[in-house]
Amino acid sequence: MNLDTNKELSRIFKDMSDIYLFRGADDRFRSLAYGKASKVVDSLPEDISVYSKNRSLNDLPGIGEGIAEKIEEFIKTGKINKYEQLKKSVPYELLDLMEIRGFGPQSLKQIHKELKISTKQELVQALQDGTISSLKNFGQKKVENMLRGLKLHKAIEDRMLLWDALEAGDKVVEWLKQIPEVKKIELAGSLRRKKETIGDIDVLVASEEKFRRKIISHFTSSTMVEKILVKGDTKVSIILKETGKQVDLRIVNEDEWGSALQYFTGSKEHNIHLRTIAKERGYKISEYGIFHIKNEKKIAGSTEEEIYGTLGFQIMPPEMREDRGEIELASRNQVPTLIALDDIRGDLHMHSVWSDGMNTIEELVKHIRKYYSYEYIALTDHSKSSRIANGMDEKQILKQINEVGKVNKMLGVNFIKTGVEVDILADGSLDISDEILSQLDWVTASIHSNFNRDVTKRIIRACENKFVCCIGHPTGRLIGSRESCIMNIDMVMNVAKSTHTALEINAQPTRMDLNDEWTMMARKKGVELVISTDSHSLSNLNFMKLGVYIARRAWCTKNNILNTKSWKEIELFRERKLKHIELL
Ligand code: DGT
Ligand code: CA
Ligand code: CA
Ligand code: ZN
């Protein structure tokens, strides 16, 4: 189903929430209300107009009368007047900086008011030339922090998150597939290799030469297109309206499909390495095919397998093509069968209304049983120290265990495993007692506070708790807004391994934590890994594939990932840890 309206509305509400947050004290309540509404709308399983038609908008959690009116207005007119007004009341361009450390609403407001700054460019300038240091409360340390935050933000501002790029790329592919002259189509470049951020979206099409023009004009006529950058016979580059990001479309003949796909998938480093080997063996590879150097005769080009095969290599999944040793592996016929989405048998990290999730336990379960073929899930709401996330205390955990029992009974299977995402406190202790933890099926321990000091000891102490099964989002980084915590990751992994504690590959689009490189390191060390969505709403459950992509980029097979196994095997994993720690 197409939920574009919900998404757009959710985005507007998030914007309104940010604007109110910027405006400050008096609007704090409104900011929270619109923030909640944004999440609620995004998590709806059906188009918002359905709820308007059957007059159930008011029944949705977090949607009061005022917000319901705005929704009606949006459905009718495609706009919200109040939103347009609000935008004019603030330096709108500065608002997306608010998520960066050091750029809170207070700071931005002061900068805006006292220096009359309202664009990012002016702000960066003032930071660099020292103007900002002249303000009260902007000492050297604060300014240094802001500069670092800005650098992180820059890295993602010019690129896209993988999740956003996949969504945009899929739309482009769908649009192009509408015309039958498109014989073959595939996303290429970093998007096909599933890198965590994407510079531009590369799309490859095969067609008969005479249809190229038609395909190009079909492409550029799409309402998705903001502006055309380059328009040639075989290549067009455009800017997308929604994201402002670039798409490169290339059209080739069908007998060049394999060589073009190989070439434009990259990575550049992989290609260069491959080409060097080809040359040594008397071949030349280009986007047009593979040729004998001697007589320039073309040997092949229509499939990727032929290109690799001619050199005596196995083909390998795009996620591996980063020149990290995959070519050597392929030459020895040792390319592993990487984990696939279908191998995942359960999701072990998700939140419900019992903490900061959007859905009730029943809603989650109903949805998962309908759309996923999982054998189990673990409910891991936050614990009490996560106050903003409305974390559970011991009493609530016991109550939830009871509730889960009831729902499982209703289902007739032990589908829901009880659990918690327990906070690792500043000294490495947990904020829930062992007595309670021992009653849960699955315990993930995570750091949600005090990121700034070295966290190695804290994580190690958490690993040493016999009831902790997994460390959640182990490095704590947020792509574009927060660096990894300072930690000795080598030591953490060794302890995780020796204490039989799993490390999480958190699949949230801005987390992707562990990332591909850390996951590769964990795999090599034999650390147990779990891929989880950390869902806070129904749509978040889809993030699982992002986690699988990370694992694939780290060359993981399904044996490296714990939640490809049956619940029985996961219980054995837990028992091994219990026995091991008790022996110490
Ligand atoms: P991105 O867009 O920065 O996320 O990364 P890519 O890998 O998508 O890079 P892009 O869009 O510049 O080029 C797409 C593919 O085309 C790239 O992965 C490999 C191929 N390619 C581009 N430039 C070169 C080059 O100079 N030499 C070789 N061998 N391949 C190239
Ligand atoms: Ca690209
Ligand atoms: Ca490109
Ligand atoms: Zn967390």
Nearest residue (by CA) to ligand 1, atom 31, is 268
Residues 526-554: what's their mean pLDDT?
A: 97
Predicted pLDDT at 406: 96
Query: Ligand 1: which atom is nearest the Cα of residue 198?
Result: 4
Predicted pLDDT at 322: 98
Which ligand sits closest to the CA of 444?
A: 4
Which ligand sits closest to the CA of 350?
A: 4
Nearest residue (by CA) to ligand 1, atom 8, is 189
In short, whether 190's Cβ falls inside 6 Å of ligand 1 is: yes
Predicted pLDDT at 499: 96
Residue 337: left (phi > 0), alpha (psi -120 to 50), or beta? beta
> CA nearest 441: which of 374, 501, 391, 379?
379
- Give the contacts of 250 (CB within 8 A, at least 6 positions apart): 202, 203, 204, 205, 234, 235, 260, 264
pLDDT tops 70 at residue 270: yes
Predicted pLDDT at 398: 97
* Mutate which of 198, 264, 321 for ligand 1 pocket (most atoms within 8 A of beta carbon): 264
Predicted pLDDT at 45: 80
Domain ranges of the chain: 4-157, 159-252, 268-335, 341-583
Which ligand sits closest to the CA of 471?
A: 4
Residues 129-135: what's their mean pLDDT?
A: 89
In short, whether 415's Cβ falls inside 6 Å of ligand 1 is: no
Amino acid at 239: I
In short, whether 262's Cβ falls inside 6 Å of ligand 1 is: no
Strands 376-378 and 283-286: unpaired
**Burial group, residue 110, by CB count within 10 angstroms (0-12, 13-18, 19+):** middle
In short, whether 198's Cβ falls inside 6 Å of ligand 1 is: yes
Rounded CA-CA distance 132/140 in Å is 10
Q: Supply the CATH classification number for the domain 4-157.
A: 1.10.150.110
Predicted pLDDT at 307: 97
pLDDT tops 90 at residue 4: no
Residues 92-117: what's their mean pLDDT?
A: 90
Two tokens at 219? 């492409």
In short, whether 169's Cβ falls inside 6 Å of ligand 1 is: no
Neighbours of 28 (CB within 10 A): 13
How many helices (H) and strands (E) the chain has is answered by 23, 18
Please, which pLDDT band fits residue 156 given cuts at 50, 70 and 90? confident
Residues 491-508: what's their mean pLDDT?
A: 98
What is the DSSP-derived secondary structure letter of residue 507? Answer: -
Rounded CA-CA distance 529/517 in Å is 13
Taking a C-beta distance cutoff of 8 angstroms, is the pair 150, 98 a contact? no
Predicted pLDDT at 175: 97
The Å distance, Cα 473 to ligand 4 centre, comes to 7
Nearest residue (by CA) to ligand 1, atom 3, is 199
Predicted pLDDT at 140: 87
Two tokens at 202? 């590369």
Rounded CA-CA distance 39/35 in Å is 7
Query: Ligand 1: which atom is nearest the Cα of residue 271?
Result: 29
Residue 336: left (phi > 0), alpha (psi -120 to 50), or beta? beta
At 28, is the secondary structure helix, strand, or coil? helix
In short, whether 268's Cβ falls inside 6 Å of ligand 1 is: yes
Rounded CA-CA distance 192/553 in Å is 11
The Å distance, Cα 182 to ligand 2 centre, comes to 21
Give the pLDDT confidence of 465-492 residue by residue, as tens digits. Answer: 999 999 999 999 999 888 899 999 999 9
pLDDT tops 80 at residue 65: yes
- Give the contacts of 83 (CB within 8 A, at least 6 positions apart): 12, 15, 16, 70
Predicted pLDDT at 252: 97
Sign of CA dihedral 14, 19, 25, 26: negative
The Å distance, Cα 429 to ligand 4 centre, comes to 16
At 164, is the secondary structure helix, strand, or coil? helix
Nearest residue (by CA) to ligand 1, atom 16, is 264
Q: What are φ and ψ of residue 371, in 5° steps?
A: -105, -10
Taking a C-beta distance cutoff of 8 angstroms, is the pair 123, 146 a contact? no
pLDDT tops 90 at residue 141: no
Range 163-187 burial, b when 16+ CB lie within 10 A, else e: bbbbebbebbbebbeeeebbeebbb
In short, whether 271's Cβ falls inside 6 Å of ligand 1 is: yes
Residues 60-88: what's their mean pLDDT?
A: 93
In short, whether 264's Cβ falls inside 6 Å of ligand 1 is: yes
Query: Ligand 1: which atom is nearest the Cα of residue 195?
Result: 4
Two tokens at 324? 């990290």
Q: Supply the CATH classification number for the domain 341-583.
A: 3.20.20.140
Domain 268-335: which topology? Beta Polymerase; domain 3 (3.30.210)
pLDDT tops 60 at residue 1: no
Predicted pLDDT at 459: 98
Query: Ligand 1: which atom is nearest the Cα of residue 189?
Result: 8
Neighbours of 254 (CB within 10 A): 14
Q: Which parts of 126-166 are beta strand (E)?
A: 160-161
Nearest residue (by CA) to ligand 1, atom 20, is 264
Two tokens at 148? 């670092």
Comparing 61-65, 152-156, 391-395, the range with the smallest average pLDDT is: 152-156
In short, whether 199's Cβ falls inside 6 Å of ligand 1 is: yes
Any bridge partners for residue 504, and if so which? 530
Give the pLDDT confidence of 178-200 residue by residue, as tens digits. Answer: 999 999 999 999 999 999 999 99
Give the pLDDT confidence of 409-454 residue by residue, as tens digits. Answer: 999 999 999 999 999 999 999 999 999 999 999 999 999 998 889 9
* Mutate which of 203, 246, 269, 271 for ligand 1 pocket (most atoms within 8 A of beta carbon): 271
What is the DSSP-derived secondary structure letter of residue 227? Answer: E
Nearest residue (by CA) to ligand 1, atom 19, is 266
Two tokens at 503? 């490390």
Query: Cα torsion for 57, 63, 64, 66, to the nearest 10°?
Result: -90
Going across the sheet that includes 416-417, the strands are 346-347, 376-378, 416-417
Please, which pLDDT band fits residue 99 given cuts at 50, 70 and 90? confident
The Å distance, Cα 198 to ligand 2 centre, comes to 6
Please, which pLDDT band fits residue 242 given cuts at 50, 70 and 90? confident
Token pair 């336990």: residue: 361
User: For the chain, what is the mean pLDDT?
Assistant: 94
Neighbours of 302 (CB within 10 A): 19
CATH class assigned to 159-252: alpha beta
Predicted pLDDT at 269: 98
